[in-house]
Amino acid sequence: MTKIISICNQKGGVGKTTTTINLGVGLVGAGFRVLLIDADSQANLTTAMGFDPEEVTFGLPEVIDGIINEQEFVTTDAVLSHKEGVDILPSHIGLSNTEVRIFSAMNRERLLRTYLEKIKYEYDYILIDCMPSLGMMTINALTASDSVIIPCQPHYLSARGLEQLSHTIAKVKRYMNPDLRIEGILLTMVDNRGKFVKEISSLLRSQYGESINIYKSEIPLSVRAAESSAEGRSIYAHDKFGKVANAYKELTKEVIHGAENKRRKNKAENVR
């Protein structure tokens, strides 16, 4: 059974792309087949995996346009393979025009879902790197997903932004995708040298921890993370034994564990 997860937060620069890549490559390391989707017109994921968005002639924008126009195309045409074992559905700046066209399309919230229904059987996990907005492309990602991971810097978590995001997720759940759930909040760029970091982290855990899963693994702030995306590879290839790689390895375990629990629960409910 494929698990589709959106990595989403409308706040910019919180580690969505970095998390999509390193969780994705982590899942490959654990033996899973993984597709990463670049659902951002900035195409940072495409670049950070070493591909040039300007050379992408058939990526997510073309796939979505193809679905809008009901064109027949080979469904895996757009998929690139990365040497670290993940597949990538790349993007480019044209996604912003596509997003405008989505507005007037039939079934506009479900275009990405329609595509993923055709290819999902080839993967165990599909991770969607969302753009920093709650526009139509993000709504498409949420409608296509089983769950959402929200990367967030600790000192922003209590801000209104999270409320807006929860509101959007609740709306998608109500109207488009009743099974959508929040997989968890991931604390990113955690600067352990900061004065109140531990206090903020435990305050958040006591404030939200009951209602939303906050991952035990926290991603530390480290220049290694930024270096690895500049080099077009994951943190495991760049700094295998470093603290960021370790933290993403732990996150990968938590995500796999969460998926197994969910599967067991579904099975038990079906038996009943």
Q: Which residues bind ligand ATP (CB under 6 A)?
A: 12-18, 40, 44, 132, 188-189, 219, 221-222, 225-226, 229, 244
Question: Based on CB atoms, which residue is closest to ligand ATP, 13 or 209?
Answer: 13
CA distances from 95 to 9, 24, 41, 109 (A): 18, 22, 5, 15
Which range, of 21-29, 38-46, 120-128, 204-212, touches Mg ion by CB under 5 A?
38-46
Question: Whose CA is closest to 67, among 18, 140, 153, 161?
Answer: 140
CB of 270 to ligand ATP, least distance (A): 37
Residue 11 engages Mg ion in binding (rule: CB under 5 A)? no
Q: Applying CB under 5 A, which of residues 17, 140, 145, 229 lies at the interface with Mg ion?
A: 17
Distance from C-alpha of 261 to C-alpha of 240, rounded to nearest angstrom: 28
Residue 91 vs 222, nearer CB to Mg ion: 91
Residue 107 Cβ, how far from Mg ion at the closest point, in Å? 27
Near Mg ion by CB under 5 A: residue from 3, 11, 16, 249:
16
Q: Which is nearer to ligand ATP, 91 or 147 (CB)?
A: 91
Return the half-sphere exposure (C-beta side, CA atoms, 13 A cut-off) of residue 87. 17
| Residues contacting 35, CB < 8 A, separation 6+ | 79, 86, 87, 88, 89, 119, 122, 123, 125, 126, 127
Contact partner, 165, from ligand ATP, Mg ion, none, Cβ < 5-8 Å per class: none
Give the binding range for Mg ion (CB under 5 A) out of 42-50, 109-117, 168-176, 199-207. Answer: 42-50
Q: Is residue 178 exposed (0-12), middle (13-18) or buried (19+ Cβ within 10 Å)?
A: exposed
10 sits near Mg ion (criterion: CB under 5 A)? no
Burial of 134 (0-12, 13-18, 19+ CB in 10 A): buried
Contact call for residue 91 and Mg ion (CB under 5 A): no
